[in-house]
Amino acid sequence: MKQAKSPKSQANSNIPGNNYISKISFDSFLQRCIKRESILKLTITAALSLTVSLYSWGQVEKEPLIFGVCSDLHGDIMPDTKERLNQFIDQMNEEKPDFIVQLGDFFMPRPKNDLFLDIWNRFNGDSFHVIGNHETDGECTRDEVVEYLDMPGRYYSFKRKGFQFIVMDGNDSNPSGNAGYYARYIGEEQLNWLSNTLRKTKDRVVIFIHQSLINTHDGVENRDEIRNFLETYNRSGGRVVAVFAGHSHFDKVVTHGGIHYIHINSMSELPVGKGYSHIRYSEEVDRQFPTIKYVIPYRDPLYAMCRIEGDTIAITGRETSYIGLSPEELGLVLPGYYWPGIKSRVLLMTH
């Protein structure tokens, strides 16, 4: 249907606004327009200046990146694995981090451990796994671990909020022969993959691995080679800021070449060996879990929340106590970073 045309006899004085204009002088009208435009310009200029100022002073930040991290649950040897894991997942679901990650020595890929995996999968968000050395106990292979935990691969990468996260596998065999019972090495194939992955990113990089890249006692055997590679990468414009590891069952941070090497304490226990065996729970529990007497369990599970914001990594840890005799009471003298806790600390990123 065509719209009806406006009557040609309609007077201009009936047009909205014409009466207003006719009552004031053109000069007055013009001055008001100029004044309004000036106010608008001043408002826009002030807003832009404030925005620039805030960015300049670092008060306008990107949204923080938060993740929960745990390590060395050792689900196959602990009598209370279900309770420890449930507590971690319950808190993570309450805190709602961007993701959670476990740094290895989780549990073996066996049907009897399906319950533990179901608890882990209760997390309402993304979760990631690192392969430790004890997942391959009982003649399990790393490929079986990858399939059981539904991992992308033995080593892989992912991005979150402007950060490149790299998961590595420190369980390659040393071509010259392994130094101990378990392999602790980064092979040539994986190192080439790492090089290609780093070359493709301009983001800050955080690495997750089970074995330490700096600990001389039980770290990756070619750790010096890997550290030198990472530091060379940073000198050429790269931005590796932190390496998270477990395995050593202690709480320690070492900064080397501008990279923070962060050791996350075990969620469950401190191993002390047969020379310091002690019944911790009861003889019945000891029969069901025969290796439990060779460790000192932590009364509560240990884990941490990590918040990366601006140029800082803030770690919020937990502390608890030992079950049964402490290392000192058993005659063990250990450095201070062996303790039933994870310290809260703030680290500055320099890359």
pLDDT digits 0-9 by tens, 60-116: 447 999 999 999 999 999 999 999 999 999 999 999 999 999 999 999 999 999 999
Cα(130)–Cα(66) distance, rounded to whole angstroms? Answer: 18
Instruction: Measure the CA angle with vertex 276, ends 271 and 279; round to 5°.
Output: 85
CA distance 86 to 101: 15
pLDDT digits (tens, 9 = 90+) for 32-58: 444 444 444 444 344 434 343 333 344
How far is residue 264's CA from residue 253's CA, in Å, rounded to a whole number?
A: 9
The token pair at 317 is 């840890």
- Residue 5 tokens, joined: 């045309």
Extents of the domains making up the chain: 65-348
Q: What is the pLDDT of residues 133-145, one digit of tens each?
A: 999 998 899 999 9
**pLDDT of res. 9:** 35
The kind and range of the H/E element at 312 are strand 312-316
pLDDT at 258 over 70: yes
Average pLDDT of the residues of the chain: 86
259-263 and 252-256 as β-strands: parallel, antiparallel, unpaired? antiparallel
Least confident span in 54-68, 195-209, 235-249, 319-333: 54-68
**Residues 247, 233 contacting (CB under 8 angstroms):** no
Element (H, E) at 314: strand 312-316
Question: Would you state the pLDDT for residue 295?
Answer: 97
Provide the pairing of β-strand 126-129 with 156-160.
Answer: unpaired
Q: What percent of the chain has pLDDT over 90?
A: 75
- Model confidence band, residue 181 (pLDDT cutoffs 50, 70, 90): confident
Q: Which tens digits make up the pLDDT trace of 206-226?
A: 999 999 999 888 999 999 999
DSSP-based three-state secondary structure for 231 = helix
Residue 246 pLDDT > 80: yes
Q: What pLDDT does residue 41 have? A: 41
> Cα-Cα-Cα-Cα dihedral of 103, 106, 109, 111, to 10°?
-140
Q: Does residue 240 contact residue 230 with C-beta atoms inside 8 Å?
A: yes
The C-alpha atoms of residue 89 and residue 100 are separated, in whole angstroms, by: 9
Summarised one tens digit per residue, pLDDT across range 13-22 is 333 333 333 3
3-state secondary structure of 127: strand
Q: How far apart are CA 270 and CA 248, in angstroms?
A: 9
- Of 216, 206, 208, nearest to 259 (Cα)? 206
pLDDT at 174 over 60: yes
Given a cut of 70, whether residue 25 has pLDDT beyond it is no
Residue 242 has pLDDT above 60, yes or no: yes
- Which architecture does CATH list for 65-348? 4-Layer Sandwich (3.60)
Q: Which residue has the higher pLDDT, 280 or 265?
A: 265
Alpha-carbon gap, residue 65 to 131, rounded angstroms: 23
Of 62, 59, 305, 56, nearest to 163 (Cα)? 62
